[in-house]
Amino acid sequence: MDLGLTNKIIIVTGGAKGIGEGIVKVLANEGAIPVIVGRNEADNLKCLQAVQSLGGKAAQVAAELTDPDACKKAVNEVIKQFGRIDGLVNNAGVNDGVGLENGNYERFMASLHKNVVHYYLMAHYALPELKKSKGAILNITSKTADTGQGNTSAYAASNGGRNALTREWAVELLKYGIRVNAIVVAECWTPLYENWIKTLPDPKAKLKEIESKIPLGNRMTTAEEIANAAAFLLSERSSHTTGQLIHIDGGYVHLDRALANA
């Protein structure tokens, strides 16, 4: 299926690694020009070069998204380079373990800036161009807002906010023909996830335990599977889909866990 994304300029925050990198590579393979926005220019350039080595097109802007001014500058840099924005993927963030019992105000607020404030700011600053292009917004969110996890109040709150903003923006932007959707991620294999597993006493046993609870295939979701859904939702092939929170998780959140061992 031709998704009609050729030469579309799509910002992908946190696009240098993990899920973001997967989205960048799939978009480039579809002929789009993803713009990686992330704090580490070396990581951005490494992903950019990987895309170009496969014959794709991409660009990058180094920006610390916890800084509101940097969000505005990043969007303006994309406009300066390309003259338009056709889509926005809000993806950057980290499960930083700011809990209720052991957290504090300063860490809680810092986590909100890492995980949800820049979602708002990037969309706010990109909106004038998205109105011109009738582009799409895609928010990457986490199942922590649905299920809880323990000891990660700020991240769970941020994802609840991401989900709510998805629905709110879908309503507000109807009049402009701008579609807004979210992909809700559960257990997806990324470098960050791998690093977390390695901190546990028995990483292999813990991974096997987690995979055993994923109903479809007893395996982790891949970044490419998230990315394939992302490309569809950013394209006109999903032209009547808006305000949706789509779980790409092998049934992890909604299916009976008993099925995983059936």
Spatial distance between the Cα atoms of 18 and 223, rounded to a whole number of angstroms: 7
> Which residue is listed with tokens 């995980």?
115
The amino acid present at 41, given as its one-letter code, is E
Out of 155, 176, 193, 252, the active site residue is: 155
Active site residue 155: yes
Q: Copy the structure tokens of residue 40.
A: 């580490």
* Residue 12: partners with Cβ closer than 8 Å, 6 or more residues away: 20, 23, 24, 27, 34, 35, 36, 37, 89, 91
Spatial distance between the Cα atoms of 181 and 162, rounded to a whole number of angstroms: 10
Spatial distance between the Cα atoms of 34 and 37, rounded to a whole number of angstroms: 9
Residues classed as catalytic: 155
